[in-house]
Amino acid sequence: MASSSTPKYNSNSLESSSSKWALKDGTNWEQNDEIPRLPGETRVTDKDVIYMCPFNGPVKGRVYITNYRLYLRSVENDPVVVLNVPLGVISRIEKMGGASSRGENSYGLDITCKDMRNLRFALKQEGHSRRDIFEVLTKYAFPQSHNLLFFAFANEEKFSENGWMVYNPMSEYRRQGLPNERWRVTFINEHYGLCDTYPSLLVVPYNATDDDLKKVAAFRSRNRIPVLSWIHPETQAVIMRCSQPLVGMSGKRNKDDERYLDIIREANGQISKLTIYDARPNVNAVANKATGGGYEGEDAYPNAELFFLDIHNIHVMRESLKKLKDIVYPNVEESHWLSSLESTHWLEHIKLVLTGAIQVADKVSSGRSSVLVHCSDGWDRTAQLTSLAMLMLDSYYRTIEGFEVLVQKEWISFGHKFASRIGHGDKNHADADRSPIFLQFIDCVWQMSKQFPTAFEFNEQFLITILDHLYSCRFGTFLYNSESLREKEKVAEKTLSLWSLINSEKSKYTNPFYTKELNRALYPVASMRHLELWVNYYIRWNPRIRQQQPNPVEQRYMELLALRDDYIRRLEELQITNNSKISNSSASSASPSQMMSQVQTHF
């Protein structure tokens, strides 16, 4: 965007290519054919409004609403203001002012978005002009509350890649070397009979029968039994995930669960204890006993060591993000930025999640002990911990495709409740089920990629794109709470996968500095000295904070790469021509390049 001649405030990066088009042809703007439209996207209504831009002041414009997006373009061209907002990001629509309210631009709509911004539109007071637009917006932004389908089901886009083929659980387990003589694949959950929030295919200890699994399920919250997430190729230590045991106030025990954990412990041939990481703070785990939950007590599980990782619950995370928004939107807190940032606790939560994941990864890798991770239900903090630990241990997950597999596996197939946490198409903005758990995970990944800029095949744009479509409802990828529900809604048949979009244009999401390294554990430093606020995501709507795009360091590297390739090509051509001539040269002195070959020596 840096090359465009006019600043484009508060515009959406989702459709950068199409809004660029709008900019270029801004002068020939015609009312019918101008809004970028996806195949399957239909226009619903449009209206003259005043966009109350928090950075630029009121902007006269026309807003167009389709079944997918809200699109606004300013009437004036200097500067062109374009808003391009998928309706899926809308969390709440409020009317502001009444028919009788005085004051300029006091009558209109206030829209709260899930992606760290608010939009305000002022409308003319005459003739209830607001009612139509409010109703249309409400209807299409919250299709679930109006018995309508998500836009993903109407989307007719075509991509060269099929993202639904990216994740095949069987091939992923095979990649890990499974099944083997100690671990087996079970189809016990084929019709989600054992656990309706788990995937149909599970990997369990070879020595545990399907009957054992059923008995264990009875003792685990929502039947989420311990199953394998990842196996270390050398130590054979595994990362298992599950939900809390149903210990309750009376301290119930379950022989099958106790034996099952012992089988897991023995499966990697080690005699050390099984390490259980309970993601919650100790007090919360204790408090859970009151509602029937709890944790693995010492008496019942003498061969296990239990650690609490002190990660807080979904409500704390939601409030923390809310506070963060308060200090960055619309204006960045001027004075006392650092203490304001600290008081949101956002980075502190990031630190704790990363710290927990490092512990899990380190235990499996250098502690050579199998690990069991759970929180209460095992679909929020547990998913964060297992997926981050896997990202630290297995370089495959640091590739574009590998990361897609990781998200697909640890988050989507294991029932992270995306629909509830994000509130897709649901008007109930105050739902206590909503929480930015997945965002927090992506932030952790960003922190890692920031600390290790050559270790990831994907770039920042990849992560931002994932987050944008976490809300957009353009793809089926993040819709619904579980695999069984997605199967019921035929998501894979009727919608497109986000990975189709990304994999069809991989170069856009590729980090040029990526250096492939196999089997290298990557431990971030979970210190506030290194953790940073992800400005390019959380403050991206503010034109004052906007980072340079494209990144100059990256750009320079790309130029050098192109130059190198050009030289190699020309050198080959030269050599061919020279070879055809008679060469009478003899051995020469060492190439001057050898003198330069040791740039990285210490001072």
State yes or no: is 53 an active-site residue.
no
> Helix H segments across 474-521?
483-488, 491-494, 498-504
Q: Is residue 580 a contact residue for another protein (CB under 8 A)?
A: no
Nearest approach in angstroms of CB 213 to another protein is: 17
Residues from 489 through 518 that contact another protein (CB under 8 A): 513, 515
Question: Between 381-393 and 437-451, two packed helices, what is the crossing angle to 10 degrees?
Answer: 20
Residues from 120 through 149 that contact another protein (CB under 8 A): none
* The only residue of 89, 116, 314, 406 in contact with another protein, by rule CB under 8 A: 314
Residues from 4 through 23 that contact another protein (CB under 8 A): 7
Q: Is residue 251 a contact residue for another protein (CB under 8 A)?
A: no
Cα(429)–Cα(318) distance, integer angstroms: 12
The answer to the question of whether 375 is labelled as a binding residue is yes
Residues from 419 through 448 that contact another protein (CB under 8 A): 433
- As a whole number of Å, the CA-based R_g of the chain is 27
Q: Is residue 256 a contact residue for another protein (CB under 8 A)?
A: no
The answer to the question of whether 380 is labelled as a binding residue is yes
Q: Is residue 221 a contact residue for another protein (CB under 8 A)?
A: yes
Cα(424)–Cα(152) distance, integer angstroms: 11
Query: For residue 443, what are the CA distances in angstroms to 55, 379, 421?
Result: 26, 18, 16
* The only residue of 338, 430, 493, 580 in contact with another protein, by rule CB under 8 A: 338
Length of the chain: 603
Q: In this structure, which amino acid lies at residue 403? A: F
> Would you say 122 or 317 has its CB closer to another protein?
317
* The only residue of 17, 145, 303, 527 in contact with another protein, by rule CB under 8 A: 527
> Would you say 271 or 582 has its CB closer to another protein?
582
CB distance 469 to 68 below 8 Å: no
Q: Is residue 529 a contact residue for another protein (CB under 8 A)?
A: yes
Q: What are phi and psi of 586, to 5 degrees?
A: -105, 180
The answer to the question of whether 313 is labelled as a binding residue is yes
For residues 533 to 572, the per-residue mask of contacts with another protein, x marking binding by CB under 8 A and - elsewhere, is: x-x---x---xxxx-x---xx--xx--xx-xx--xx-xx-
> Would you say 507 or 603 has its CB closer to another protein?
603
Secondary structure E strands in 191-273:
202-205, 227-231, 238-242
Residue of 113, 242, 375, 473 marked catalytic: 375
Cα(309)–Cα(429) distance, integer angstroms: 30
List of residues 6+ apart from 132 with CB closer than 8 A: 45, 47
> Would you say 58 or 179 has its CB closer to another protein?
58
Nearest approach in angstroms of CB 295 to another protein is: 13
CB distance 373 to 360 below 8 Å: yes
> Helix H segments across 33-152?
129-141
Q: Is residue 26 a contact residue for another protein (CB under 8 A)?
A: no
The answer to the question of whether 476 is labelled as a binding residue is no
* The only residue of 287, 326, 490, 550 in contact with another protein, by rule CB under 8 A: 287
CB distance 19 to 12 below 8 Å: yes
* The only residue of 62, 184, 351, 434 in contact with another protein, by rule CB under 8 A: 351
> Which structure tokens are listed for 46?
């449009």
> Would you say 191 or 564 has its CB closer to another protein?
564
* The only residue of 316, 325, 329, 428 in contact with another protein, by rule CB under 8 A: 316
Secondary structure E strands in 476-573:
none
The answer to the question of whether 337 is labelled as a binding residue is no
Residues from 374 through 403 that contact another protein (CB under 8 A): 375-377, 380
Query: For residue 19, what are the CA distances in angstroms to 34, 503, 545, 575, 589?
Result: 10, 22, 21, 47, 57
* The only residue of 40, 54, 58, 248 in contact with another protein, by rule CB under 8 A: 248
For residues 183 to 212, the per-residue mask of contacts with another protein, x marking binding by CB under 8 A and - elsewhere, is: ------------------------------
CB distance 38 to 496 below 8 Å: no
| Number of other residues whose CB lies within 10 A of the CB of residue 342 | 13
Catalytic residues: 375
Task: Give the residue numbers of the binding site for substrate.
Answer: 313-314, 375-381
